[in-house]
């Protein structure tokens, strides 16, 4: 009787042989969805290779650099806490050899404040060239800072001319993008990240009159302008057919807010230093005037809110040749002034 030894060797099927290596990512995951509070974002798995076959995936959503508690599914519903953050998702893959390291999504979704998103939406609807994403984030921060500092709630109109999109984008009224779109009359020159410069016959019509103001009232009102450069002593703003509601870069008593063509009781010097200039009416007789955060008080009796549109870089026939970066009107903001000045300085110094 002969004896033989038979040895049988069973090999794993091709594609399932373990080599002890965890899955390897070859294409990063991506996320999609609408950047609005309450909307759902979805992450793909990405593409992975595995010697034994993928058995599952793990997800972790991030708010900036911070993992979001309990956000461990392939979908995530945007929340108020996500505003002003980049939202990403990191994905890991598992096979019989173990779990890979997490791989971050190749893209992120930034959640803008709803009021700033409305500005972007209106600009898109009008086919305006929007600022770059980096500048959009800076503008979003500016708007949120104004809200936190109590400025936003006191405004009727806010125009930010300093942007790297288009001149047209600068004409949007952030406070209500569907109303008071500014008109560029006779083409004031636009400089990216700076604003508009007046020239012969040119001005900016805000299409907003003080008489239509909600916050801007007869004895509780303010006008703000960020002057990038001064040229001469003619007005920064005013009315088209009269010299009312005007401020001038000079030592003058023709500094007016809701007082018709009456002037303040003594000269005030709006200086030529780059920065915020503002005028405030706090009562029927008191006017406060600011170079940045430095103020002075003057007496001028209020008469009426102008029914004409407020214009910039002109008053009556007097042409302003200055360069302006921002303009706003609303209620008097004496207590908020320093914060408003700081907020806008932070923005314009960052662009």
Q: pLDDT by residue (tens digit) across 53-62?
A: 999 999 999 9
Q: Give yes or no: residues 49 and 142 share one domain.
A: no
What's the token pair of residue 202?
A: 């040119």
Question: Is residue 35's pLDDT more than 50?
Answer: yes
CA dihedral 170, 173, 178, 181 (to 10 degrees): -60
Q: Give yes or no: residues 183 and 323 share one domain.
A: yes
Cα→Cα distances 1→4, 127, 132, Å = 10, 95, 89
Q: Give yes or no: residues 165 and 304 share one domain.
A: yes
d(CA 138, CA 136): 5
Residue range 330-342, pLDDT digits in tens: 999 999 999 999 9
**What pLDDT is attached to residue 242?**
77
d(CA 247, CA 6): 105
d(CA 72, CA 165): 37
Domain boundary among 59, 85, 110: 110
d(CA 323, CA 188): 9
Q: Give yes or no: residues 189 and 295 share one domain.
A: yes
For residues 300 and 285, is the Cβ–Cβ distance under 8 A?
yes
Residue range 112-155, pLDDT digits in tens: 999 999 999 999 999 999 999 999 999 999 999 999 999 999 99
The residues, ordered by sequence, that sit 6+ positions from 10 with a Cβ below 8 Å of its Cβ are none
Is 212 among the domain residues?
yes
Domain boundary among 110, 137, 172: 110
The residues, ordered by sequence, that sit 6+ positions from 277 with a Cβ below 8 Å of its Cβ are 224, 225, 226, 227, 236, 247, 249, 270, 290, 291, 292
What percentage of the chain exceeds 70 in pLDDT? 95
Q: Give yes or no: residues 137 and 247 share one domain.
A: yes
**What pLDDT is attached to residue 7?**
36
Which CATH number characterizes residue 48's domain? 2.60.40.10
Which CATH number characterizes residue 121's domain? 2.60.120
For residues 323 and 197, is the Cβ–Cβ distance under 8 A?
yes
Q: Give yes or no: residues 34 and 92 share one domain.
A: yes
Is 288 among the domain residues?
yes
Residue range 17-30, pLDDT digits in tens: 667 899 999 999 99
**What pLDDT is attached to residue 1?**
38
Question: Is residue 4's pLDDT more than 50?
Answer: no
Is 5 among the domain residues?
no
What's the domain count of the chain?
2
What's the token pair of residue 275?
A: 């920065």
Q: Give yes or no: residues 134 and 278 share one domain.
A: yes
Q: Give yes or no: residues 87 and 122 share one domain.
A: no
Q: Give yes or no: residues 98 and 200 share one domain.
A: no
Coil, helix or strand for 25? strand
Domain boundary among 49, 77, 110: 110
What's the token pair of residue 59?
A: 């997800």
Is 4 among the domain residues?
no
Regarding predicted confidence, which is higher, 261 or 226?
226
Range of the domain at 145: 114-350
Q: Give yes or no: residues 304 and 329 share one domain.
A: yes
Q: Give yes or no: residues 55 and 169 share one domain.
A: no
Look over the chain and give the mean of its residue pLDDT values, rounded to a whole number.
Answer: 94
Instruction: Specify the pTM.
Output: 0.91
């Amino acid at each position: 009787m002969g004896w033989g030894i038979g040895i049988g060797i069973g090999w794993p099927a091709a594609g399932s042989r373990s080599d002890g290596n965890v899955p390897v990512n070859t294409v990063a995951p991506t996320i999609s969805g609408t950047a609005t509070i309450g909307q759902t974002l979805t992450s793909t798995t990405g593409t992975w290779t595995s010697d034994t076959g993928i058995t599952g995936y793990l997800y972790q959503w991030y708010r900036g650099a911070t993992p979001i508690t309990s956000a461990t599914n392939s979908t995530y519903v945007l929340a108020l806490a996500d505003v002003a953050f980049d939202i990403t998702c990191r994905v890991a893959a598992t096979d019989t050899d173990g779990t890979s390291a997490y791989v971050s999504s190749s893209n992120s979704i930034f959640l803008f404040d709803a009021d700033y998103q409305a500005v972007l939406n209106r600009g898109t609807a009008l086919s305006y060239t929007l600022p770059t994403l980096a500048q959009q984030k800076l503008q979003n921060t500016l708007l949120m800072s104004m809200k936190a500092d109590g400025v936003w709630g006191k405004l009727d109109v806010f125009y930010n001319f300093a942007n790297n999109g288009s001149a047209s984008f600068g004409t949007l009224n952030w406070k209500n993008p569907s109303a008071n779109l500014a008109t560029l009359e006779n083409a004031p020159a636009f400089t990216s990240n700076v604003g508009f410069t007046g020239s012969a016959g040119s001005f900016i019509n805000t299409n907003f009159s003080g008489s239509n103001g909600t916050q801007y009232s007869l004895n509780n009102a303010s006008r703000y302008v960020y002057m990038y450069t001064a040229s001469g002593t003619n007005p920064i703003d005013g009315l088209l057919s009269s010299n009312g509601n005007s401020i001038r870069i000079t030592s003058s008593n023709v500094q007016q807010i809701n007082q018709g063509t009456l002037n303040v009781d003594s000269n005030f010097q709006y200086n030529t230093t780059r920065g915020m200039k503002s005028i405030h009416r706090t009562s029927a007789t008191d006017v406060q005037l600011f170079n940045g955060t430095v103020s002075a008080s003057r007496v001028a009796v209020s008469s009426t809110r102008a029914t004409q549109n407020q214009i910039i870089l002109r008053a009556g026939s007097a042409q302003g040749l200055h360069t302006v970066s921002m303009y706003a009107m609303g209620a008097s903001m004496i207590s908020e002034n320093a914060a408003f000045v700081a907020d806008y300085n932070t923005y314009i110094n960052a662009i």
